[in-house]
Amino acid sequence: MSAAASASPMSASHNPPDPQHEDPGTSGRKGRKRAGKRPLRERLRQDRTLLLLCVPGILYFAVFFYLPLAGNSVAFQDYQPYLGFKGSPLVGWDNFKALFEQPEFWTAVWNTLKISAVQLILYFPAPIALALFLNSLISNKTRRLMQTVVYLPHFLSWVVVVGMFQQVFGGAGTVSSYLNDHGVHVGNIMNNPDTFMYLVTSQSVWKDAGWGAIIFLAAMASIDTSLYESAAMDGAGWLRRIWHITLPGIRPVVIMLLILRLGDILSVGFEQILLQRDNVGRGASEVLDTYVYFHGVVDGDWGMSTAAGLMKGVIGFVMIVLANKFAHRLGEQGVYQ
């Protein structure tokens, strides 16, 4: 409560310190300009309320994020639950070697890359196209209604989404039975391993394309409308206006999201795929995440599955860094500087 806790200096620039306004109780703290030079103990004392407020959150990230991050050392151990982190023997790169000899691991890698590629080509442009469409709606009422409609599926759980697809495209599903009855043999779309990657991609589009469009809509809203006006004066039709104004206007955002997507190239909707793994079988649906889950938590092969998970994390990190560098080279802003 006391003014001592009142902490941090205001930005001296627009609010010049006035010693007379200081609370008399502030043990001689004078002008805020000297903020940075205050002795450590005094700074700690002044900021203690703020620091105490940070404690639970920081502690949380330490325990549930950084501790597991360090726990990846299990990848270099022959981990035994009863021996724990400390007791389990170190085995160097053995887990990785064993992993690379497993054909199932390579199936998982291949499936992951395959699904990821399909998603990159078919899912990634969907929110952009949707945003272009929503942006082209002139009536505010209609646009708001459509936004309400297309954002909704984002808030449904994967269990619900897969359940909904089941009732439409499953064996007894309304659409698949209709097609099967009318001479188009599609069978049970939900169980077809050959088309599984398109199925998961269409589920992703249904669930998240609307939500993903928000950020592009925001970018489009910040484009100066006078550009459109002068382009129209010069005789540019709507297609040319999109090509020469809208798309360049949202380019930084597109590149940023593309970089983030590349960082996630080895994550392809874990829950979503896990839920449908029994339907289509492992051959088509085993991806890195499900491989890690089944070999680690289910089969108890802790060391090797952690090695697979660690590899995935490292590759994702490297992909982000490389893609960002590449974007900088092309003169783009990227995700970070």
Site for another protein in 107-126 (CB under 8 A): none
Q: Which residues fall within 8 angstroms of residue 100, CB to CB, at 6 or more apart?
A: none
Calpha distance 273→286 (Å, rounded): 8
User: Minimum Å distance from CB 329 to another protein?
Assistant: 21
Burial of 244 (0-12, 13-18, 19+ CB in 10 A): middle
Interaction between residue 164 and another protein (CB under 8 A): yes
Please choose, from the candidates 123, 105, 132, the residue with its C-alpha nearest in 3D space to the C-alpha of residue 286: 105
Interaction between residue 315 and another protein (CB under 8 A): no
Q: Which of 107, 122, 316, 332 binds another protein (CB under 8 A)?
A: 316
CB 206 within 8 A of CB 161: yes
Q: Which of 98, 113, 122, 168 binds another protein (CB under 8 A)?
A: 168
User: Minimum Å distance from CB 125 to another protein?
Assistant: 16
Interaction between residue 84 and another protein (CB under 8 A): yes
Question: Quick one: residue 273, left, alpha or beta (phi over 0 = left, psi -120 to 50 = alpha)?
Answer: alpha
User: Minimum Å distance from CB 197 to another protein?
Assistant: 19
Q: Which is nearer to another protein, 96 or 165 (CB)?
A: 165
User: Minimum Å distance from CB 262 to another protein?
Assistant: 13
Interaction between residue 299 and another protein (CB under 8 A): no
Q: How many residues bind another protein (CB under 8 A)?
A: 118
Return the SS3 of 77. strand
Q: Which helix (H) or strand (E) holds 25?
A: none
- The tokens for 141 are 């009422």
Enumerate residues 131-150 that contact another protein by CB under 8 A: 133, 136-142, 146-150
Interaction between residue 305 and another protein (CB under 8 A): yes
Q: Which residues fall within 8 angstroms of residue 36, CB to CB, at 6 or more apart?
A: none
Q: Which of 90, 184, 225, 331 binds another protein (CB under 8 A)?
A: 225
Q: Which of 106, 117, 157, 328 binds another protein (CB under 8 A)?
A: 157
Please choose, from the candidates 40, 42, 34, 56, the residue with its C-alpha nearest in 3D space to the C-alpha of residue 5: 42
Interaction between residue 127 and another protein (CB under 8 A): no
Q: Which of 78, 94, 98, 158 binds another protein (CB under 8 A)?
A: 158
Interaction between residue 93 and another protein (CB under 8 A): no
Calpha distance 207→33 (Å, rounded): 52
Longest CA–CA span in the chain (Å) reads 88
Q: Which of 101, 155, 184, 330 binds another protein (CB under 8 A)?
A: 155
Interaction between residue 80 and another protein (CB under 8 A): no
Interaction between residue 60 and another protein (CB under 8 A): yes
Could you tell me the sign of the dihedral formed by the alpha carbons of 150, 154, 156, 160, in that order? Answer: positive
Interaction between residue 85 and another protein (CB under 8 A): yes
